[in-house]
Amino acid sequence: MSEVAGSVKPYGAWPSPIEAKDLVVGAAGLSEIVTDGGDVWFNESRPEEGGRVAILRWRNGTISEVTATDADVSTRVHEYGGGAWWVGGGTLWYVDDADQRLRRLDEDGTLTLLTPEPDQPKAVRFADGRATPDKAWFICVRETHSVGEGQPVNDLVAVAGDGSGNVVVLAEGADFYSSPRLSPDGSKLAWVQWDHPNMSWDATELWLGDRVGGQLVSPRQVGGHHEPAAVVFPGFTADGRLWAVSDHHEWWNLYEFSDPDEIPTPLIEGSFEIATPGWVFGLSRWVEIDGQAIIARTDPGGDTLFDSSTGEERDDWSSVSALGRLGDGIVFIGARHHGEPELVQWTPGATPQVLRPARDLSLEPTFLEAPEHIVFATTDGEEAHAWFYSPAHASVTAPVDELPPLLVLAHGGPTSRARTELQLSVRYWTTRGFAVVDVDYRGSTGYGRTYRHALNGRWGVADVDDCVAAALYLGDSQRVDSDRIVIKGGSAGGLTVLGALADSDVFAAGASRYGVADLAALAQDTHKFEARYCDKLVAPWPEGEAIYTARSPINRTEALETPMIVLQGDADPVVPKSQSDAVVAALAANGVPHAYLVFPGVAHGFRDAETIITALEAELSFFCQILGIEPAGDLPALTLS
């Protein structure tokens, strides 16, 4: 990272110690942990290696990579994946992205392919599995794609662990399955299932069955049927009780489920969320120890750890995920507003120990001041939330007669939330003199079920309103320059960007990454997991076609008069390139300054190093050109059309 010199410089033109390449060089994303005896297994996604996911093991203070250097441990179930691996008794079970087949890797190095090669490449996919104690079976979610036969089929299966290729269907008929979890002795199986038009954060069913060999008997629903609730994150205690997280009382809290005729028994309740939306498999936010729970809980201020047996609370990390039991305590992934994710061990009453530290970024603390959580009024009289980052520099002095430009961020999802950890992609802007506001618009998670569902029927309206309201709130309070506000978002956040530019005159420019432009096209042509998502967010399809037409930015292209940069992968299965093509054609027809970057072979989301670097530098170059800022340092040339 480069050195900087002290002086007074205009906002946006500060020489930053953070370059685009710093987002990826030496970076490794952490997302899942599995403990096995005294060993801690975890995965790393590596942008420098094209986003490849490797499995590593911490053992007695030493970390080693277990999977081969050409392995990419990733599943495509639901297209977003997660839960592509599991460990038990020293054996690693995993899916490789190359063919989506399930593998078994024993401690002696023996690798066994467990599922046959499908007729079509990657047509049969597996995720979120657990091995039986005797390793005879691996119970997991299966997704089967058949050419020309409509939507894929999801079911729950047991895959033989001996390499015979035997696969037994345990549960079928629901649209979706997740979280198959075995009791400690392997005699019982719990799982979650749900049907269209619900998403897993809307309404689910918790099921329980008895397992006999490779078969499931006496399946019965034990949760999610007394009142609408998203019951998620099931698991068994050491003595065989079934716990799960439910939001039937507003917040995603922890309950015990047993008798189907009885309401669940509360274990830990409060105004906080233990669960997070199931965009991916393999999430874990609670651990049972001796009948008590250690949980990660989210409230508007971020994440904390809580031990129910002692009442001890740790707020050392603003982001906590992937809890696993280790001895009398836990291991987890923790991050801070000033620090990237690290692997941490914590036993209540003791000092936490870092097992795998975050990257050493060698940045002075002044560059990484914590953001401010703000609450502001929306134009329709409700409230919305956001995280506000002030420009921050260690040696540059801001001009006294100038206010900073503002970058408004609209997260994807839209059922997601702003990240509460160090994001170099945000500090890239703040260290250059931009203010940033990361908006948790209505529909975001971490604020309870009511707020999470506040976007239903209002996608493309309430989220746009909240981003506009955040910008106006900061401008009216003289914290930013109202004439230099830009907005950026990807996927669902791209729809928010397009809507904000079409429906308001607040923004000087915008950036859309693989943004949704045509809601009707999305409703008719997207993958199964989200095929009915818009029924909740917009209106039932096709009955509500008029609403889709009116709300889609692609049908209001005459209103797109604000400069924009559009970035798109040409292999995107979620938001096809054709939607971005149409937006760019409209910008050209309207004579609006714009730039269009298409990345060959790139799917939904930018994960490889080259794409990440190119996209970020292009956005900075574009915004600086539009705002009349001369950025410090060299940027690749970007020609506006």
By the 8 A CB rule, do 465 and 455 touch? Answer: no
User: What is the reported pLDDT for 3?
Assistant: 42
User: What is the reported pLDDT for 555?
Assistant: 92
Instruction: Output Rg (C-alpha) for the chain, integer angstroms.
Output: 24
Residues 14, 8: Cα–Cα separation, whole Å: 9
Residues 445, 273: Cα–Cα separation, whole Å: 8
Helices (DSSP H) in 375-461: which residue ranges? 424-430, 449-452
Is 0.85 topped by the overall pTM?
Answer: yes
Residues 143, 571: Cα–Cα separation, whole Å: 21
User: What is the reported pLDDT for 227?
Assistant: 82
Based on the number of CB atoms within 10 Å of its own CB, is 586 exposed (0-12), middle (13-18) or buried (19 or more)? buried
By the 8 A CB rule, do 413 and 277 touch? Answer: yes
Measured in degrees and rounded to the nearest 5, phi and psi for residue 360 equal -85, 105
pLDDT digits (tens, 9 = 90+) for 247-280: 999 999 999 999 888 899 999 999 999 999 999 9
**Token pair in block for residue 421:** 């950890």
Residues 206, 231: Cα–Cα separation, whole Å: 6
User: What is the reported pLDDT for 6?
Assistant: 62
Residues 605, 80: Cα–Cα separation, whole Å: 10
**Token pair in block for residue 541:** 């399809």
Domain boundaries, the chain: 35-173, 363-627
C-alpha neighbours within 13 Å on the C-beta side of residue 415: 25
**Token pair in block for residue 523:** 């409703």
* Fold agreement between 35-173 and 363-627: no
Write out the H or E segment, with its range, that includes residue 57: strand 52-59
Write out the H or E segment, with its range, that includes residue 427: helix 424-430
Under CATH, what is the fold of the domain 35-173?
Answer: Neuraminidase (2.120.10)
User: What DSSP character marks residue 369?
Assistant: P
CA angle 113, 115, 118 (to 5 degrees): 120
| Ranges in the chain, pLDDT < 70 | 1-6
User: What is the reported pLDDT for 9?
Assistant: 93
**Is CATH 3.40.50.1820 correct for 363-627?**
yes
